[in-house]
Amino acid sequence: MRAVIQRVASASVSGKFLKLTPSSTFNLANASNPRIGRDDTAEDVAFIAKKILTLRLFEATDDSTKMWRSNVSDIDGDILCVSQFTLMANTSKGNKPDFHLAMSTEQSKEMYGALLLKLSGMYKAEKIKDGRFGAMMDVTLTNEGPVTLTIDSRKDTTA
């Protein structure tokens, strides 16, 4: 399983606008775009969920000059998850993306639901937001930093 993690100031998905409040450092902390490979398991879900919650992408809560000290739970941030099967694209041959490494739609939907449940169980359920699985969505966000990281539970062995 692969996810793109972005530190953002605000984000919206198909009209659901999530924005930081002026009094807080970050309200919306991470935007995560998970991709699900055809051989991903519950172990991959657990790995990605833990990384989303524990990566230190923010300044120290007591000193804004010290970067990489706090994670999303330290700052009480929100997480927006948007499923994105295109992260599984193989573009090494030709000009058309190949999605043969992606899990089937029904299995992916179950795995994505498992990721949302895992995040909700490990953090605060009300802080986990998501788009609509499998839908064409308008996703808008404002990157901070910019900070954008790619994590992979298989260390890119399936890419």
Token digits of residue 35:
């991709």
- Which of 111, 125, 135, 141 is CA-nearest to residue 31? 141
Catalytic residue at 84?
Answer: yes
Contact 118, 44 (CB under 8 A): no
Contact 101, 90 (CB under 8 A): yes
Token digits of residue 14:
């198909």
**Of the residues 47, 58, 85, 158, which is catalytic?**
85
**Of the residues 41, 61, 86, 148, which is catalytic?**
86
Unique residue bearing structure tokens 């573009």: 91
Contact 103, 37 (CB under 8 A): yes
- Which of 40, 43, 157, 26 is CA-nearest to residue 80? 26
Catalytic residue at 85?
Answer: yes
Catalytic residue at 107?
Answer: no
**Of the residues 6, 58, 84, 158, which is catalytic?**
84
Active-site residues, by number, are 84-86
